[in-house]
Amino acid sequence: MKIEEILKGSQLNSGASEEGVREAISSVGRPLPSDYVQFLRAYNGSEGFIGENYLILWKAEELSVFNREYEVAEYAPGLFLFASSGGGTGYGFDTRDPSMPVIAVEFIGMDWSDADRVAANFTDFLNQLAK
């Protein structure tokens, strides 16, 4: 299923500026997955239900701020958060792995030992939530 179809029930934003996309990529220090970058360029975040799951996909300009505020580099080095359940769960890319799978982690007590791999990539992650 295409990203547009999956997110049809969510509130979508207009696309990120190229500056915002560059800032997001530079905060990771390596290229972000292409399907995720395409999402940022087209919609720059969204909020709403995907299937029965609530998801807040952060805007490009929020990514470095939220990762810094959640102190991700200290608690889970190599994780790059890009979304939240709107509750206690964050979703991010495992940048230690070249394929950058999507990881779920609790904000309180954030640690790699409690992280779960939930999808192989961004599109697969959205598809799983939609089921």
pLDDT tens digits for range 73-120: 999 999 999 999 999 999 999 999 999 999 999 999 999 999 999 999
Question: What residue ranges in 14-109 does DSSP mark as E strands?
Answer: 46-50, 53-57, 79-84, 89-94, 102-106
User: Which helix (DSSP H) or strand (DSSP E) does residue 73 occupy?
Assistant: helix 72-75
Instruction: Please give the share of the chain, as a percent, with pLDDT higher than 70.
Output: 100
pLDDT at 60: 95
**Calpha distance 131→112 (Å, rounded):** 26
Q: For the domain 3-130, what is the CATH code?
A: 3.40.1580.10
Residues 6 or more apart whose CB falls under 8 angstroms from that of 125 comprise: 91, 102, 118, 119
pLDDT at 25: 87
pLDDT at 79: 97
pLDDT classification of 28: cutoffs 50, 70, 90: confident
Of 44, 45, 46, 24, whose CA–CA distance to 93 is shortest?
24
Q: 31-86 pLDDT, tens per residue?
A: 999 999 999 999 999 999 998 999 999 999 999 999 999 999 999 999 999 999 99
CB 15 within 8 A of CB 40: yes
Sequence spans of domains, the chain? 3-130
